[in-house]
Structure 1
Amino acid sequence: MTEQSKIDRKGAKPASLLERADKTFGLDGLGPKKVPGNLPQPKRRHPTSEGTVSQAAATSAAPTSKQSVVEPLPATEPVAHPAVTLSGPFHSIDRDRLRDEGLIVPEDPVTGLLEEFRIVKRDIIADAKAGHAPKQRRILVCSPHQGEGKTYCATNLAIALAAERDVEVLLVDADVIRPSVSRRLGIDAERGLMDALADPSIEPERLALKTDIEGLFVLPAGSTGSHDAELLASARTLEVLDRLTQGAPNRYVIFDTPPALAASPAAELASHVGQAVLVVRADETSRAALEDARQLLSACPNLKLLLNATRFSPSGRRFGDYGETGV
């Protein structure tokens, strides 16, 4: 209970509860003490220049013999693989044969066909540069059915792409069922892609034929057999393709494959390329066939559609008219 005996009831003004508590418990003694006047004066420190450390601070920061010093790890440079040089035998390409096959002839005047494939290659080059990966420079050319012009487009694309400055193009005949790239170009070679896949001791770059078209190399299909699909599905395929693009940032590899709805190699190779060109023939390829082929090539992240053998132009003009009319 509150102490009542010490309350002065006769005074002019009764003490408050806080005042009585202070008087009873001696709260005055809990206040801050006075600072003595005889304390020694602290020594003044001279400021150091900005950005430097004083000698005392440096001494205290120095490690003792019992402390372990952790040295920073040296910066490591990315491992650069040596460039693989395409070093197969030399073969000349018969220009008259190119004309007979309706293909682009590098030395001939600019034609509408060349201009059309220039547009196709620009899109492919742009996507390859945007991807910054060797896989983006591997392009599969396929069609849903036979006779839609896949080999024709693959060969013309390779010739047009080889015309780029400081670019190498390797045209691979991956149609192991009915190889036709070598026939169209007049090349006679026994060994090629399937030989390198079947025998790990064979270096694929030594089978890539150098042609007299600047920048163009050809890898034939090689020896084919009943287990070609299994070879293409093996881990060896990735090893071969990686080697063909190793250390060569300006090298493009174009694959001419069997029709997607006729054989499995196109679907097998789709997972090893960064771009795929699906060739369809105007007024012939059905929408259902196009959709089925698209599903089979879905392992490739970038699928392009190339409409072949068109005869309709919305503007009524075709590439090549500018030079012919002189407008």
Structure 2
Amino acid sequence: MATAAALHVLAAVAALVVAVAAGDSDPGKIGICHGRVGSNLPRPSAAAALLRQNGITKARLFLPDPAVLPAFAAAGLDLTVGVPNENLTFLSASGPDGAAQWLRSAVFAYAPADRVRYLAVGNEVLYNNQFYAPHLVPAMRNLHAALVSLGLDARVKVSSAHASSVLAASYPPSAGAFDAASLPVLRPMLRFLADTGAPFMVNTYPFISHVNDPANVQLAYAVFGDGAAPVRDGAMVYTNLFDATVDAVVAALEREGFGAVPVAVTETGWPTAGHPAATPENAAAYNAKIVERAARGVGTPRRPGAPVETFLFDLYDEDGKPGAEFERHFGIFKADGSKAYDINFA
């Protein structure tokens, strides 16, 4: 008889097959985020060309920037388009008709629908934007209903990107559980994701986990180092924090009864400056391993047959970002188009 864990794996793989059959681009291909909080960023057309020159076919934009959408769409990139937090109150109250009007004017006026794969509604709302939390799921539902009315719901999926702090427990991964205070929003959202075939989106940064707790999160474990001490969780063995975090999310989904919902990592990366652990060498090691795993279609110990769709952060350094110095140094490429360190996306 199949175990419960095996059934969860089979359900996850089935969900992945359905997503691909519905027309989604290859989830095994790596994507890159394009943040725009910088003073010396290249033109959008140059950024889009740089992605294509390096074999990147997917990009995440944090808002529907009318200067960026046409250039990225014209380059043939599949887009994850962010819906800014400040739009959630309107989209929640506007109904499907208002959401459709917003989609037409803010997104599809600049990029054809066949270039849009996801709408990421809000970013880390449950982490630091509690004002918008009650509006999040209603906005998602209205946007989905608008897509249905436009005949686009099979092509464009609606989700929301969460900080990994949405987990109240993550160690060991099998103990993964969502923050109880977020469950009134998460439970209806998970039902929505399951009903519409959309993934649960999470932003995860092993670098920050290491910086915040270096004694317990060793650098080798955070950076996919060969010398990382494995973490044993029952029959499963973890050699890196990325897998452990994703599987903690999977365990939390299973705990809520939604073990078939796929997980997509909408941000991860490693900075090159601003902290002793933020070096080009560590960034190259971490990001190269993420790219390699995406190319090989590697799953996680809990879902070994299901590739984790992943977006690296960030295309360029962003010198206008607030916070710690390292926040401004996640760029994989320099403004002149050269690589910040040796990494191959082929």
Q: Same fold (TM over 0.5)?
A: no
Higher helix share: 2
The TM-score bracket by the shorter chain reads: 0.3 to 0.5
Larger-gyration structure (1/2): 1
Give the TM-score normalised by structure 2.
0.34
Give the TM-score normalised by structure 1.
0.36
